[in-house]
Copies of this chain bind each other. A is one copy, B any other.
Amino acid sequence: MRLLEEKITAEGKVLPGNILKVDGFLNHRIDVPFVMQLGKEIARRFANCGVSKILTIEASGIAVATAAAYYLDVPLVFAKKHKSGNISDSVYSASAHSFTHGNDYTAVVSKEHLDEKDVVLIVDDFLALGSALECLMDITAQAGAQVVGCASIIEKGYQGGGDKIRAKGIRVESLAIIESMESGTIVFRPDEGEQA
């Protein structure tokens, strides 16, 4: 999505350790009118797929998932991050590793809020190693629900998580895919999903 690539180039900061800081518009301060446009683009790409529910994980994916849910006119469920190993029977749960925070966590979703009739679009802000998306797909499978695909705002293509999921035959749409950030220069993969 050209608008997003321009925003990342203008406002993103490349920090040592290949970290891209976009907390000025995406994951601390949220440029809400802009994020609504991102949600609208996700909704456009997954229109007519029969999506009944969006699934994301707290916390920074919630804003863009809210926007996508608004334009698809469906409810949103966000998985909660659980620290303890003491998980109740009334939830689906799966573990994931956070690349950003360098820790493991367990994501939980109440069984009340996801079931086999659901057609799920998984949404998150960042896609690096793909651990969060795989965790949410695991939870969706436990519910017996169908996944129509995954949408992320910024995919770090060079970390391989998105392509690993695509190789399993799952549709993954990222609104911007970064191929490299060498010497602070951000290079994007051509966007095949954008409308001409």
Q: Is A42 in contact with chain B by the CB < 8 A criterion?
A: no
A171 within 8 A of B: no
Interface string of A26-42 (1 = CB under 8 A from B): 00111111011000000
Q: How many residues of A contact B (CB 8 A)?
A: 30
B residues less than 8 Å from A110 (CB atoms): 23, 28-29
The answer to whether A75 touches B113 (Cβ under 8 A) is no
In contact, B78 and A28 (Cβ under 8 angstroms): yes
In the complex, A67 has a CB within 8 A of chain B: yes
Main secondary structure of the interface of A (DSSP, over half): mixed
**How many protomers of this protein does the assembly include?**
2
Q: Which of A56-64, A126-134, A176-184 faces chain B?
A: A56-64
| B76→A30 contact, CB < 8 A | yes
A77 on the B face (CB < 8 A): yes
Give 7 A-B contacts (CB < 8 Å), ordered by A residue: A23-B110, A30-B77, A33-B70, A58-B59, A59-B59, A62-B63, A66-B67
- Residues of A at the B interface (CB closer than 8 Å) are 23-24, 28-33, 35-36, 58-60, 62-63, 66-67, 69-70, 73-78, 80, 109-110, 112-113
Given contacts A30-B66, A32-B75, 15 further A-B contacts (CB under 8 A): A28-B78, A28-B80, A28-B109, A28-B113, A29-B110, A29-B112, A29-B113, A32-B73, A33-B73, A58-B58, A59-B62, A62-B66, A63-B66, A63-B76, A66-B66
